[in-house]
Amino acid sequence: MMDHEQHLVFFTGAGMSVESGIPTYRGTGGVWKEYNYREYACQEAFERDPEKVWDFHDRRREKIAGCQPNRGHDIIARAEKVFSRVTVITQNIDGLHQRAGSTKVIELHGSIWRLYCPPTGRLVENFELPLKNRRCHGEHYWRPDIVWFGDPLREETINEAVAAMEAADVFISIGTSAVVYPAAHLPLIAMRHGARTIEINPEETPLSSQYREIYRQPASKALAELFPELSGA
């Protein structure tokens, strides 16, 4: 049983949502195996053919809307009721942590459920689907508020994530391949600050050797073992 006074930081990637039915990016059946990100997930592609990029994101929204948070998301959300401080830092854009009930979620790579108007900086959430007008401003299209390949991360988001890493007593990485930077650097901060570090991933990653504890299991099984008091089993 963990000390409930500790600050827990969960750091999640696509593997967190696999049990909800959402594919990863790089594994078997991964999104970037089926779709070339240069055609669907970078600013150049958007400028070249915004309708094609929009259609791709509409298909992903539809897929995600039909999926539910899994037991792993639920365990993380319940942790807030028991531990004095819980932060979720996610690379996922699917919004499943929030749907499960987590309230402190830092979205490193943005969200497919927000739109951004580049000329004005305006953000909208809770837009209706399918969007009637894909243009926000004259000729300009709304773009998903997602960090695409080649986009910088928002500075305030990184700062918030770094602060959480520095303050973490227990750092739990779940379902990320640890190959996409700068996100993949963040665990090193928690390691350097002496947190108890745990990796949950059925497969080895480039950072595996740096973790103190490793669960080579799917997210929900490992989380239920780590937090039996939250698993509802």
Q: Which residues bind ligand APR (CB under 6 A)?
A: 13-15, 18-19, 24-27, 30, 91, 109, 174-177, 180, 200-203, 205, 218-219
Helix (H), strand (E), coil (C) string for 83-126: CCEEEEEECCCCCHHHHHCCCCEEECCEEEEEEEECCCCEEEEC
Q: What count of Cα atoms within 13 Å lies in the side-chain half-sphere of residue 213?
A: 16
User: Of 58 and 85, which CB lies nearer to ligand APR in the complex structure?
Assistant: 58
Least CB distance to ligand APR at residue 190 (A): 17
Angle between helices 71-82 and 219-226 in degrees, nearest 10: 30
Least CB distance to ligand APR at residue 183 (A): 6
DSSP string, 54-84: HHHHHHHHHHHHT----HHHHHHHHHHHHSS
**Residue appearing with tokens 């809770």:** 126
Least CB distance to ligand APR at residue 77 (A): 17
Asked if 109 is an active-site residue, the reply is yes
Whether residue 182 has a cis bond before it, omega within 30° of 0: yes
**Residue appearing with tokens 């986009």:** 151
User: Of 98 and 177, which CB lies nearer to ligand APR in the complex structure?
Assistant: 177
Which residues does residue 213 pair with via DSSP β-bridges, in sequence order? 198
User: Of 108 and 195, which CB lies nearer to ligand APR in the complex structure?
Assistant: 108
Least CB distance to ligand APR at residue 220 (A): 8
User: Of 119 and 206, which CB lies nearer to ligand APR in the complex structure?
Assistant: 206
Least CB distance to ligand APR at residue 219 (A): 4
| Separation between Cα atoms, residue 204 and residue 177, nearest integer Å | 8
| Residue 65, token pair as written in the block | 């809307």
Which of 7, 57, 109, 137 is catalytic? The answer is 109
User: Of 14 and 195, which CB lies nearer to ligand APR in the complex structure?
Assistant: 14
| Separation between Cα atoms, residue 209 and residue 212, nearest integer Å | 8
Catalytic residues: 109
